[in-house]
Amino acid sequence: MFVGKTTSAEVRQFIAFKASVFWGLYFLAWLSYPKENQYSIMTHTVSFLGSYEDYHNPRWWWILSVAMIFLGIMTMPLMFYVRRQFARISRCGADVACAFMLLGCLGLLCIGLFPDGQAQLFGGFKTTHGHIAACILLEIGCGAGILLHGILLLYDKRRKGCTGFRH
């Protein structure tokens, strides 16, 4: 979809589709969380919605995993579109920012593949270890990518000259 001439209307439709599916699945994971386990965004991490442990969401944990895998995969082509837009400012900067954002997308994907739980995978490695590593990958990737995109925008604004806010 994001090769060649993609119109802004097509991008908006793609983002609306992606957001609808992700937030729909997220909402289902929240609705399916057992009432007796008392999930609250104020006291629990989002990862609890996708945890198969008995004291979290043992029956429907996989819904959040599907949502995270979907979001990770579907955000990747969007990052290539964003890269092409930012390449107008700096090709190198856009490439580096895109690489970091793709690293974040990989983190999202891995969060879905490694739910927060204590299942033993191999050796002393548990799913929670993979989950924590994936969260760090997401934070580093998207954090650095967003920061670099912001720097590129500031650079472009300065290069073109800032006349302040217009009233």
10 Å Cβ neighbour count for 98? 22
Q: Write down the pTM of the prediction.
A: 0.86
pLDDT tens-place string over residues 82-107: 999 999 999 999 999 999 999 999 99
Report how far residue 46's alpha carbon sits from residue 122's, in angstroms, rounded to the nearest whole number: 25
Angle made by CA atoms 120, 123, 125, in degrees to the nearest 5: 55
Burial class (CB within 10 angstroms; exposed 0-12, middle 13-18, buried 19+) of 66? middle
Percentage of the chain with pLDDT > 90? 63
